[in-house]
Amino acid sequence: MPVYNPPLRDMQFVMHEVLKVTDDLKAIPAHAEIDADTINAVLEEGGKFASQVIFPLNISGDTEGCKLDQKTHEVTTPKGFKEAYKTYVDGGWAALSCDPAFGGQGLPLVVNQCMYEMMNSANQAWTMYPGLTHGAYASLHTFGTDEQKATYLHKMTSGEWTGTMCLTEPHCGTDLGLMRTKAEPQPDGTYKLTGNKIFISAGEHDMAENIIHLVLARLPDAPPGIKGVSLFIVPKFNVNKDGTLGERNGIYCGGLEHKMGIHGNATAQIVMDGAVGTLVGQPNKGMQGMFVMMNAARLGVGNQSLGLTEVAYQNALAYAKDRIQMRSLTGPKAKDKPADPIIVHPDVRRMLLTAKAYAEGGRALAIFCSVLLEKVHNHPDEKVRKDSDDMLSLLTPITKAFLTDNGFNAATQCQQVFGGHGYIKEWGMEQFVRDARINMIYEGTNTIQSLDLLGRKVLGNNGATLKKFGKLVGALVMEEGVNEKMAEFINPLAVLGEQITKFTTEIGFKGLQNADEVGAAAVDYLRVAGHLVFGYFWARMAQVALREIAAGNTDPFYVAKLQTARFYFAKLFPETATLMRTARSGSKVLMDTDAALA
């Protein structure tokens, strides 16, 4: 059976020693009094919930899956899921970082980020039920009317009601301008929606008394394409004016997808047959509200793979220390045993360290993004809000794509550590691989994220936001450039920082001549940018570790951090050289291939 121990020490290191998040939070009135001890105490309890309540349900939930009653259209979640959700709600975890005006606890978003990482490690499929709710809550909190907020947000904050995002239709995935779901205005100001949606995570279940669907649909006079899409609240049960539940709405689950992973989450085919809905925001401006959910979901999916990377690593490490096979190439290490533990073999260590480096680098990026999101929403200085929003916009596609690519890579490598046992269900590794593979697909495939990064976030503003991140890199290089002990981390980072400017400009000029050049380079470009970001955070983590060791701190945690940083820069970071070369190979070798693909 797999194991999971919440990585609280590493979370504390990133939050308090590297990023010093409480210093940033002091500038935000709502969090001015928050301290590290409070954050740590909350997350310690959260770790217990993740490891003791939902982690034991991960394999059983995957085995059992969700069941649909075709007559009633009701979905039953795996055994224990509903009870675990009640424990979650009763413990106040759903309200952790929500607005106190709607019953939330008002804790910083960084607390919610770390809580969700632990829950994703423990049971990604289960975590998606409350996770989708957070995105719907954020959208309504931003664009809902006062009446809509009063009707829905209290119940969603408490966790009594859950939420979904209903976008995809059978004939359109990312290209939402092609959707056909219709919304007909009614005399009472509501709308009746008719259409079909697919791949709706947590779209139907028995864990909460109501499900609040946020649905994209077209009004009768809507212009074609994405400019004619509106956003609607469509609850499973209509809500009376006094807040009680009314009659069953005309929205139901027509089928469940039989997918390769996250079996414990109901991925529903949603049918709307005259379902009553209310408009969110302005007509034909639905993408504004939906993008709040989509961007939150993209950060959330990156966090899902971060969680899987961590739990896969923990299990592979434990196995590698216990499993004995052959002898070390440099002579027996466990002389009292007939063979050595496989952790003595170099390539086993490579696989383990790959997962460890990707987990710890991803954690730093995810926590940094949560602080940026906090500033976007709550910082009193408008310039800080704007700068934070720009930076978060740049980092969101990197967080989604780089972390999920790395997560699948890490899960696969950790499965490999187990050898044949990695393919046996009871060890849990094959489930981590299956779950991690899905994360690269939904909420915008990783190629879509790459096009978004290069086309919109970088070339779209002539690299202005990329230069802002470059200033962070430059400041660190200036600070540590003459420190010989930091040279192995700073020098490659500084080189890439200089190279990426020329690299970006070159692709931009080629793209002006032929737009396919951008599409051909985008995926490689995102990984280069991802390593620039990871390199920056790994250099900062190495910086702190070196300072602690120089000050006489004998905690082996810092030695471990340095060793992992050295591995990252020596074995993973150099991928950028190959990526820049393949990106520069251009679009011709891809597009001039009609004969090859005939």
**What amino acid positions are annotated as catalytic residues?**
443
581 touches 521 (CB < 8 A) = no
Tell me the residue type at 42. V
DSSP state string for 397-466: HHHHHHHHHHHHHHHHHHHHHTGGGGGSGGGSHHHHHHHHHHHTTSSS-HHHHHHIIIIIIIGGGTTHHH
Instruction: Report DSSP state, residue 32.
Output: T
Strands 191-201 and 267-280, by their bridges, are: antiparallel
CA distances from 155 to 63, 116, 280, 357, 401 (A): 31, 20, 18, 39, 32
Strand partners, 239: 245
Contact (Cβ atoms closer than 8 angstroms) between residue 168 and residue 217: no
Q: What are phi and psi of 564, to 5 degrees?
A: -70, -40
Token pair in block for residue 570 = 């020596």
Cβ neighbours of 583 (radius 10 Å):
22
- One-character DSSP codes across 226-246: GGG-EEEEEESEEE-TTS-EE
Cα–Cα distances (Å) from 47 to 7, 41, 120, 143, 187, in that order, read 9, 10, 11, 33, 50
Judge contact between 59 and 426, C-beta under 8 A: yes
Q: Which residues contact 283 (CB under 8 A, 6 or more apart)?
A: 219, 222, 230
| Strands of 128-287, DSSP E | 161-166, 182-185, 191-201, 210-217, 230-235, 237-239, 245-248, 251-256, 267-280
Crossing angle for the helix pair 382-417 and 346-378, to the nearest 10 degrees: 160
